[in-house]
Amino acid sequence: MGRNWSKKSRRTAVGAVRRSGAPLALTLAVSLLGLTACGGDGDGGSDSPSASGSGSEQPPQGPDRLGPAPSAVPSVRQWKAVRGPGWQRTDRTRVVPGSDSLRDEAKLLADELKVPVAKGPSRTGDIELKRGEDGGKSPGGKVNGGPESYRLVSSDGKITITGGGDAGVFYGTRTLLQTWRAQGRFAEGTVADAPDRPQRGFSLDIARKNFSADWIKARIREMGDLKLNQLQLHLSDDQAFRVESETHPEIVSDPHLTKAQVRDIVGLAASRHITVIPEIDSPGHLGAVLKAHPELQLRSASGATPRGAIDISKPAAAKLVDELLVEFADLFPGKWAHAGGDEYQALMTENPEQTYPGLAKKAREEFGDKATVQDLATAWLNDRASTLDKQGKIPQVWNDGMHRGGVVKPNKPREVAYWTGREAGERQPSEYLKEGWKIVNLNDEYLYYVLGQPNNFTYPTGRRIYEEWTPAVVRGTDPVPDKWAGRDRILGGRFAVWGDLADAQTTGQVARGIRLPLAATAQKLWDPQRPERSWDDFVKLVDKVD
């Protein structure tokens, strides 16, 4: 995950209320009847794009004027302004859920706007939430729907949000809330909106640096407003194991999250349609586990003990890690789990077979005379992925756990989290894509916030992400060919915080440091097209909707 490449260079108002996450094919055609490809808070012309500038946010001055486009981060994909007074919160405003499944979304929005939840029918001034097949579709029906799509109609002083699913309804409430914070109203018109990528997230290393449950929950609320839908928690590393374990309490570090705290975090995330993805990294980055189980420590021919490397030739090593994977499968009930696989020290030596003859011997015994240590490591990750698959999880693994050639091949199902192109036997993203693997983009050139900036890392800026990065830019600064860049191949991405030098920043400094990069990442995962709004205007927008 980009921490140990020390020998290699990496880089060649109203809004006083404070803020307390299924694949989707979205076709945005320039010729859509009556829609504009915009999403800013500019002064909307009748059919002209209005996402390009900060524009005017004054209410219309007469019946022949159009109000401003929504103020939202990420920007809405389509907005059609029409003449009319728009919507404002009044003493009579209520939030009216159209079904029991939407009561949570209704209550959250009502609390944020300080208005009541009520039963229908809806009336002037109300906000009606409902599900329907037309969620996210344009009036002409040319924008495909899906669970994360929504359609927001502001008409005759009332707001109606129709989502393809509960998540779509929730995202519609975020657009309404942010616009209300920025403008104090919502202009007359229609939003048709949906994300470009199904996986949009934030990855947090809680092993090397302790982040409190409250800090994590604050980020979840921030992520919800940004329409991000995944939170990956890196639970274990050489420094610590940060979640309570009943199967192996001896490995748990202090401070750590209790299971009750984790359930609270998972529950809050679910209320924002965010899936929490646990990562128990192996066969490297297990120093905290090995401190309690030194008998499982990998040793070289000379007796050296590479930090964090477990001896994958020992059945007891696999048993311990699998017990943890199974235990945490229920604690984190989402559909994904991360098995790690990166930076196994045995594969980072010039001659693994000579340096670790025990691993080489085991590889030949298991897989034949041509097998190497690489094959044994591939088999290890295959087995961990199979354990997760049996628990109903989709395994994700780091790309440097996926090796070229060899006797043993990576198994399926799995998704590849691509972060680096500087591993031994480095492989271009296109190589994985040609082999049919689906990728989640964690490009360390743009998306890695590594505390202390070791090994030539520098803190990423939101401006670089906003102006240069897209989901297709998986490695370095160049995008993969267009034929590999679709949402069916590159599923999305995550912005990541790593605690290499844990004391380099306080948790408050981290929160402030990642605020704009996280917002920029959310923008580009929702809509990867080059933004028409300048970076300076985007920053102003983030400040307005916060």
- Active-site residues: which are they? 343
Q: What is the 8-class DSSP label of residue 156?
A: T
Phi, psi angle pair for 181, to nearest 5°: -60, -40
- Residue 282, H or E segment: strand 275-282
Report how far residue 247's alpha carbon sits from residue 385's, in angstroms, rounded to the nearest whole number: 20
| Torsion angle (degrees, nearest 10) of CA 439, 443, 444, 447 | -120
Q: Which structure tokens are listed for 526?
A: 């929702």
Cα–Cα dist 416/423, whole Å: 15
Which token pair is 183?
A: 């403008």
Residue 88 · residue 189 · CB < 8 Å: no
Contact by Cβ (8 Å): 282, 380: yes
- Give the DSSP letter of residue 347: G
Decide: 96 and 140 in contact? Cβ < 8 Å.
no
CB contact set of 521 (below 8 Å; sequence gap of 6+): 200, 228, 447, 465, 469, 493, 494, 495
Backbone torsion region of residue 233, taken as left when φ is above 0, otherwise alpha when ψ lies between -120 and 50, otherwise beta? beta
d(CA 487, CA 194): 13
Phi/psi region, residue 319 (left: phi>0; alpha: psi -120 to 50; beta: rest), is alpha
Q: Enter the tokens of residue 91.
A: 């003493």
CA distance 129 to 122: 10
The identity of residue 57, as a single letter, is E
Half-sphere exposure of 138 (CA within 13 A, CB side): 21
